[in-house]
């Protein structure tokens, strides 16, 4: 009797492990933990699996996500994955989105991103206009005239490069039906929000799952 029970224990362990492995594979469910976009959007580099973050410099949750999770994740990014940013352009956030695009057109977006986050998240209401942003850029060595230049109207539309970028971002955000930030868009196909993922720590877990999903789909398509 004792021998039979001892023999049965490893069998139970194997069954439980198998059940747990099966559950782990289906842990993140479409419609529950992430949404599939009705119409996929174009990614910047089709040769890579893109993870796009929609954020706001004045958002404490975005700040937490960036400092406690995103920086480490980005450092370990696989070669077949690209990470890019897009500021949300909801009412009241447009000026802060302009800070991101101004930095991008000045070629210092990577160097100044954390600095802008630190300054703006501490007091978002302080930065209500482009003129409020200018001292931040000048403090980082940007010439006053160079900063002004990216906000000057250009082209047949008579609109600045920054305003053109804001217009495109606004259209994109509407198409993605994003209602809050931070949010992740994986390979232009899937949307992951904090609420759906079950908290900020799960955002990248779901994103990693979707990256693997896209990677496997690409292999099968070969």
Residue 4 lies in a domain: no
Residue that wins the pLDDT comparison between 17 and 98: 98
Residue 95 lies in a domain: yes
Residue 195 lies in a domain: yes
pLDDT classification of 171: cutoffs 50, 70, 90? very high
Three-state SS at 8: helix
CATH code, domain carrying 51: 3.40.30.10
- Residues of the domain holding 203: 30-221
Query: pTM for this one?
Result: 0.85
Residue 1 lies in a domain: no
Each residue of 12-46: pLDDT tens digit? Answer: 333 333 333 333 446 899 999 999 999 999 999 99
Residue 8 lies in a domain: no
The number of distinct structural domains making up the chain is 1
Each residue of 70-80: pLDDT tens digit? Answer: 999 999 999 99
Each residue of 137-150: pLDDT tens digit? Answer: 999 999 999 999 99
pLDDT of 129 above 70 = yes
Q: In what order do the strands lie in the sheet with 81-87?
A: 35-36, 190-193, 183-186, 49-55, 81-87
- Strand-pairing partners, residue 137, are none
Residue 163 lies in a domain: yes
At 157 the pLDDT is 65
At 26 the pLDDT is 61
Question: Among 43, 67, 65, 40, which Cα is nearest to 55's?
Answer: 65
Residue 19 lies in a domain: no
Residue 7 lies in a domain: no
């Amino acid at each position: 009797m004792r021998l039979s029970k001892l023999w049965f224990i490893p069998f139970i362990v194997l069954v439980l492990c198998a059940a747990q492995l099966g559950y782990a594979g289906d842990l993140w469910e479409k419609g529950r933990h992430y949404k599939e976009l009705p119409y996929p959007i174009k990614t910047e580099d089709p040769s890579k699996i893109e993870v796009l973050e929609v954020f706001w410099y004045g958002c404490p949750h975005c700040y937490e996500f960036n400092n406690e999770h995103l920086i480490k994740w980005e450092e370990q990014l696989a070669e077949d994955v690209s990470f890019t940013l897009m500021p949300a352009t909801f009412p009241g956030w447009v000026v802060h989105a302009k800070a991101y695009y101004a930095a991008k057109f000045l070629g210092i977006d990577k160097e100044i991103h954390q600095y802008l986050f630190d300054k703006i998240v501490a007091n978002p209401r302080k930065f209500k206009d482009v003129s409020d942003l200018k001292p931040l850029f000048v403090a980082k060595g940007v010439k006053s005239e160079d900063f002004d230049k990216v906000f000057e109207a250009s082209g047949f539309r008579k609109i600045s490069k920054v305003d053109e970028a804001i217009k495109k971002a606004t259209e994109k955000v509407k198409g993605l039906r994003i209602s809050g930030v931070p949010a992740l868009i994986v390979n232009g196909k899937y949307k992951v929000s904090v609420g759906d993922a079950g908290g900020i720590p799960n955002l990248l877990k779901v994103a990693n799952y979707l990256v693997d999903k896209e990677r496997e789909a690409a292999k099968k398509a070969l």
